[in-house]
Structure 1
Amino acid sequence: MIYELRVYHCVPGRLPNLLNRFETITLKLWEKHGIKQAGFWTVLVGESNQALYYLLAFESLADREKKWNAFASDPEWLAKRAETEKDGPIVAKVVNQFLQPTSFSSVK
């Protein structure tokens, strides 16, 4: 199992829009494509409270590539993303990393 840590740095003031899009649109489409989330976090105390952190779980990098590419090119996703950004972009920057659990991790 591998995990993808993704951090979405929002355009100032647009974090509520991003959270709403995940809750009402993105998660349903991920389910359709077999993408499994391992958790979502916002920043309570830290450098910026305009960021969303989340983990995705995949069997392998090949599994991730197949599922993510199918999601990213889904016509429903493309249309709904455009609709949610009609007033301008929500996300200013995305950072992602692929993580592999250690032998002593409680998450495998």
Structure 2
Amino acid sequence: MIHELRIYHCAPGRLPALHDRFQHITLKFWEKYGIKPVAFWTTVVGPTNQTLTYLLEWENLAEREAKWDAFIGDPQWQAKRAESEAKAVIVERIENQILVPTAYSPLR
């Protein structure tokens, strides 16, 4: 099992729009494609409070590639994403890491 850590750095004041998009749009598409979120976090103490950090769970890189590509390529998702950003961009930058657990990790 592997995990994907993603950090979305929002444009100033746009974190509420990102939360709204995840709650009402993104998670439905992820369910459609079998994408498994583990947890979502916002930053209370750190360099900025305009980030959303989340963790996804995958069986392997092949599963990740197939499901993520299907999600990203979905024309309905692309339209909903564009609609959510019609007034202003939401995410300015994304950090992405693929993580594998250590032998002593409680989460494996």
| TM-score bracket for the superposition, by shorter chain length | over 0.9
Where does structure 2 lack aligned partners over 5 or more consecutive residues? none
Where does structure 1 lack aligned partners over 5 or more consecutive residues? none
Q: Give the alignment's Cα RMSD to 1 decimal.
A: 0.5
SS at match of 1:80: helix
Task: Tell me what 2:35 maps to.
Answer: 35
Task: Tell me what 2:11 maps to.
Answer: 11
Deviation for aligned residue 1:34:
0.5
Deviation for aligned residue 1:31:
0.5
| Cα distance per residue 1:21-63 (max 9 Å; x no partner) | 0010000100000000010000011110000000000000010
Identity %: 58
| Cα distance per residue 1:48-105 (max 9 Å; x no partner) | 0000000000000010000000000011100100100000110000010000011111
Q: Give the paired residue count.
A: 108
User: What is the correspondence of 1:78-93 to structure 2 with a 5 Å cutoff?
Assistant: 78-93=78-93
Separation of aligned partners in 2, 1:46 and 1:94: 17
Is 1:2 the counterpart of 2:14? The answer is: no
